[in-house]
Every structure is written in structure tokens, then in C-alpha cells.
Structure 1
């Protein structure tokens, strides 16, 4: 990826007011975290992921292409819980409230005892039971390994504000990515066993758990599991002054992970086109 094919850079070029806000934030001249998230970062994510969904084109994938996406998209889920735990430990001395939110997310992702099992276990088992796909132990493609590495490096940062912004990026795209993944697994089911949606019972449960505002697994009233993760972390950017979050550092972290994820999707789309 370079500046010429980055979706983030394309958005900034098409939206000069956001480019100005990004530049001013990094230079310390734009200090409203709420305006940054609401007027600029959230619309950027929506715009970028609509284009990613178009690039993937789930409805037109072959079974081989869909399987490749499913295998690669399974990898990050293996490690996200441990990354959340590491991030919480990294920020707890600076901002215990942020650490608390990251640990809450860690327990949801990693499987809090007496509640929902670890999300990776639910997902990998659902793929196996519904589609006969074994993703456990899948060796990731280089672009997937790079994305995992970027997150690992981020969680080891000595800058808590960078971690706050980077994990906001990670969670802020989760609903869009889950919806794309649902379209891909539905496509694979349609092509291989002629089943989609609620006929894929375990996968349907997994997606409802993440996206349904009224699901029993939701711990924040009125918000799905993923929506609560997004809002829970966005709060620390929106209220950066209250929590002493350094806004330029937080935006730097956001851009590092956002660019990394969009690069990953672009590389996967390129890989899919090479599958015959």
C-alpha cells in the first residue's frame, strides 16, 4: 500500500475539512475530541468500509475465494483477547478507567467464566459445525501476519494515549467487518451446502451475539456487544481532556491501525482475484 491507493488517504483527499482537522489535531491546534470522532473519524470509517465491502463483493465470490477470506479473517480473533489484556495492563497506571473498559472487552472476547465462551471458540466451532471448515491452526498470509504484528506492537507502546486511539480504531470497524464476514460465510454456505442466514444456526447465533442490540450477551443496555465496545472506547477520545488523553497521540494510534486494516483488506482482495 502507498499513498496512492490508501482508502484513508482517498477519504482525506475527498474531504478536505477532515484533512484539515487531522492535520490540526496532530499539530495540537484542534482540541475537540468529540468533534474529531463525530464529524470526522466516524464518517471516515463508514465511507472506507462501504468501499471495502464493494471491493470484496461477497455476493460474487467463488467458494475458494470465500474460504480464503474466512480463513484469514479468523486469525485476528485468536489474539484479540490477549491484545486487549496487554493494552489494559499498559494503560492502567495512566488511566484506570480506560484499563477498566479494555478489561471488560477482554473478558467478553476471551470468555468470562459463567457467561459467553471465548468469541474465537464460538466462531471457529461455528465454522466447523455449520460449514465443515477447520480454521484452527491456519497459518496466516503475510498481510494477515502484518496486521497481527501491528496490533501487537501497538499494545506494547509506552504511550497510553496512542493505545487508546489505536484500540478505538480496532473496535470502531468491528460492526462493518462482522457484517462483511457474515456476507462471506453466507456466500460460502450458499455455494457449498445451499444454506445461508438462520439456516447456519451456529454462525447465525454468533453474528446475533455481536450485532443484536437485544441479545442476552449485551452488557450495556440498548447497545449490541460490538456497539458497546465502540462507544466505550470512543468516550476516551471524545472526552480526552477529562481523561488526560493526548489527542495528537490518540489520532496517531488511530491512523496507524486504520491504515493497517485497510491495507489488509486491499491485499486480501488482491489475493482473492488471483484465486481461480
Structure 2
């Protein structure tokens, strides 16, 4: 990835006010965490993932391409719960409130006893039952391995504020990624004659679990599981002074993971193109 093909860099170039806010944050001159998230980082993610959805073009994928995406997109889910647990442990001495939020997310992702099973288990079982796809144990492509490594290095950081920004970037994309994945699995189901949407019962449940604010798994009133994760972490940047989050470090963490995730999608899209 270079500045010439980075979606994040493209957004900054097209939005000089956000470029100024990002630069100012890194230099310690832009100090409003709320404005940073609301006016700059959230719109950046929305724009970048709109472009990613266009690059993927789920409606035009063939079977091999759709399967490749499904297999690669299953990998991060395999490790996210343990990353959340490690991140919570890493920040608990710095900010117990942040550790609490990360542990809440960990329990949701990893399967809190007496509640919804681990999301990775739900997802992989749904792929198997609805589409006949076995992704358990899939050995990731190089670009997926890079993404997993970036998260592994991030959660081991000695800088809690870096972890805040990086995990906000991870969660900020979750709704958009889930919607793209839903389009891809629907496409695979259509191409293989197994249906789409609510016809894929286990997958439909999985997507509703993440996106529907009224789902049984939703624990924060008025917010879906993924929306609650996003807002729960955004709070620590928005209220950085209250929680003693150092915005320059948080900005660094955000860029590290946002660049990594958008690069990952771009590389998967290129891999899909090569399958034509």
C-alpha cells in the first residue's frame, strides 16, 4: 500500500479539513475528541467502505470469487475475541472503564455463558448448515495474515491510548463489513441454488444478531450489537479528557488499523479480479 492507492489517504486529500484535523491531532493542536470522531473519523469510514462495497461488487461475483471472500473474511472472526481479551488486560491499569467495555465486547464475541454462543461459532456453523461451506481451519491468504498480525501487535501495545484508537477503527467498520459480507453470502447462495436472505435461516439470524437493535443479543438499549460496540469505544475518544486518553496516540492507532483494514479489502478485491 502506498499513498497513491490508500483509501484513507484519498479521503484526506479530498477533505482538507479532515487532513488538518488529523495532522493537528497528531501534533497535539486539535484537542476535541468529539469533533474528531463525529466530523472526521466516522465520515471517513463511511466513505471508504462505500468505495470498498463498489470494489467488491457482490452482485457480480462468481462462485469462486464469493467463496474466496467468505473464507478470508472468516479468519479475523476466529481471533477477535482473544484480541479483545488481551486488549482489556492491557488497559485495565490505565482505564478500568475502557477495560470493562472491551471485556463486555469480548464476552459478546466469545460467547458469554447462558447467552448467545460465540459469534465465530455461530457464523461458521451457519456457513456449513446453509451453504455447505467449511471454513474452519482455513489457512489465510497473505493479506489476511497481515491484518491479523497488525491486530496482534496492536493489542500488545504498551500505549493504552493507541489501543483505544485502533480498536475504535476495528469496530467502526463492523456494520459496513457485516453488510458487505451479507451481500456476498447472499450472492453465493443465489449462485449455488440455496437461496438468499431469510431463506438462509442460520445466516439470517447471524446478520440480524449484529445489525438489528431489537435482537435478543442486543444489550444496550436502542443499539444493535455492532452499533453498541462502535459507540462504546468511540466514547473514550469523544471524552478523551475525562478518561485521560492521549489523542495523538489514539489517532496513530486509528490510522494504523484503518489503513490496514482498507488495504486488506483492496487486496482481496484484486485477488478476486485475478480470478476472472
Same fold (TM over 0.5): yes
Q: Which residue does the alignment assign to 1:86? A: 86
Partner of 2:47: 47
Unpaired runs of 5+ in structure 2? none
Aligned length, in residue pairs: 276
Partner of 1:204: 204
Q: Map Cα deviations across residues 120-161 of structure 1 (whole Å, 9 max, x no partner).
A: 000000000000000000000000000000000000000000
Deviation at 1:275, TM superposition (A): 1.0
Cα-to-partner distance string for 1:23-45 (whole Å, 9 max, x where unaligned) = 00000000000000000000000
Residues 36-75 of structure 1 correspond to what in structure 2 (within 5 A)? 36-75=36-75
Q: What TM-score, normalized by structure 1, do the two folds share?
A: 1.00
Distance 1:175 1:98 in 2: 21
SS of the aligned residue for 1:74 comes to helix
Which secondary structure state, in structure 2, belongs to the residue aligned with residue 186 of structure 1? helix
For residues 241-260 of structure 1, the aligned pairs below 5 Å read 241-260=241-260
Aligned match of 1:189: 189
Q: What's 2:167 paired with?
A: 167
> Which residue of the partner structure matches residue 18 of structure 1?
18
**Contiguous gaps of at least 5 residues in structure 1:** none
TM-score, normalised relative to structure 2: 1.00
Q: Which residue of 2 aligns with 1:103?
A: 103
1:7 equivalenced with 2:7 (yes/no)? yes
* Per-residue CA distance 1:165-224 (angstroms, 9 max, x = gap): 000000000000000000000000000024000000000000000000100100000000
2:274 and 2:37 map into 1 onto residues whose CA distance is 37
State how far apart, in whole Å, the 1-side matches of 2:226 and 2:211 are: 6
Distance, in Å, in 1 between the alignment partners of 2:60 and 2:172 is 26
Which residue of the partner structure matches residue 135 of structure 1?
A: 135
Question: Per the alignment, in what secondary structure is the counterpart of residue 234 of structure 2?
Answer: helix
CA–CA distance in structure 2, aligned partners of residues 91 and 171 of structure 1:
17
What is the root-mean-square deviation of aligned Cα atoms in Å? 0.4
Residue 113 of structure 1 and its aligned partner are, at CA, apart by: 0.2
Q: Distance in 2 between matches of 1:217 and 1:137?
A: 27
Deviations 1:97-129 (A, max 9, x none): 000000000000000000000000000000000
- The answer to whether the 8 A contact 2:130-2:194 is kept is no
> Would you say 1:76 and 2:76 are equivalent positions?
yes
The 3-state SS of whatever aligns with 1:67 is helix
Distance 1:218 1:114 in 2: 14
Once residues 8 and 29 of structure 1 are traced to their aligned partners in structure 2, the CA distance between those partners, rounded to angstroms, is 21
Give matches, 1:26-41, under 5 Å.
26-41=26-41
Query: 2:107, 2:113 → 1: CA distance?
Result: 9
Greater than 2 Å deviation, 4+ residue runs: none
SS of 1:71's partner is helix
Cα distance in 1 for partners of 2:266, 2:49 equals: 11
